[in-house]
Amino acid sequence: MRHPTCDLLPNTRTMKIGVLALQGAFREHIEMLRGMNVNAIEVRLPEQLRDIDGLIIPGGESTTIGKIATQYGLIEPIREMAAQGKPIWGTCAGMIVLAKDVGMKQPLVGVMDVKVKRNAFGRQVDSFETDLEIPEIKNGDATPFHAIFIRAPLLESVGKNVQVLAKLDNGAIVAARQDNLLVTSFHPELTHDARFHNYFLRMAKDDD
């Protein structure tokens, strides 16, 4: 179910968005996109990246996602996709996978100029929800975005070409964009609000 006041991008049926389906919350992204009339596919092999308009790397366990992506030969093709300007969105663990610096050695795509702090808010029991003001995704809807944080990372620092999209009240950065790259600490796919997915689809549309 999409957010009732969300003005969805027209002609979404012509778009093909991949969701990395190695581990984690990929099904929820697929369901959200299909509810928006988007051709959403599960991506597990490099050849499935060739004809998609954008890629989502979901939440889950970033080390596991990175290891499996390495085993399946996906890391370099995703880097090439980023270099070609194709939109890529990382949610929670996906944010970690896209970051250049995570403070430890693990398999990464490593294309976004950000430093990430893993599990920044503590353990699973410390998960929380909060409303965020995110002007870039409003698209005529002034309602705050209800964000769900589950063992979430945060952005400790961002490069000069990175646009901060959302912060918590304490100043912690939880969403950002660098050209064709988008990251969120939280899980928009676990809400009924499609505005963040719609924002990503607009990035893919602008890339046409």
Catalytic-labelled residue, pool 6, 28, 29, 187 = 187
C-alpha span between 52 and 41 (Å, rounded): 9
Catalytic residue status for 3: no
Catalytic-labelled residue, pool 3, 6, 28, 92 = 92
Three-state DSSP class for residue 201 = helix
Q: Which residue has the tokens 């919350």?
A: 25
Q: 183: alpha, beta or left, given left = phi > 0 and alpha = psi -120 to 50?
A: beta
Using alpha carbons, list the distances in angstroms from residue 57 to 83, 100, 110, 138, 144: 16, 15, 13, 23, 24
Are 57 and 77 in contact, with CB atoms under 8 Å apart? no
Catalytic residue status for 189: yes
E-state strands within 58-201: 88-91, 99-101, 112-117, 128-132, 145-149, 154-158, 163-167, 173-178, 181-184
- Both tokens assigned to 181: 């790259």
What letter would DSSP give residue 207? Answer: T
Catalytic residue status for 42: no
Residue type, 118: R
Catalytic-labelled residue, pool 136, 189, 192, 197 = 189
Three-state DSSP class for residue 125 = helix
Question: Which residues are catalytically annotated?
Answer: 92, 187, 189
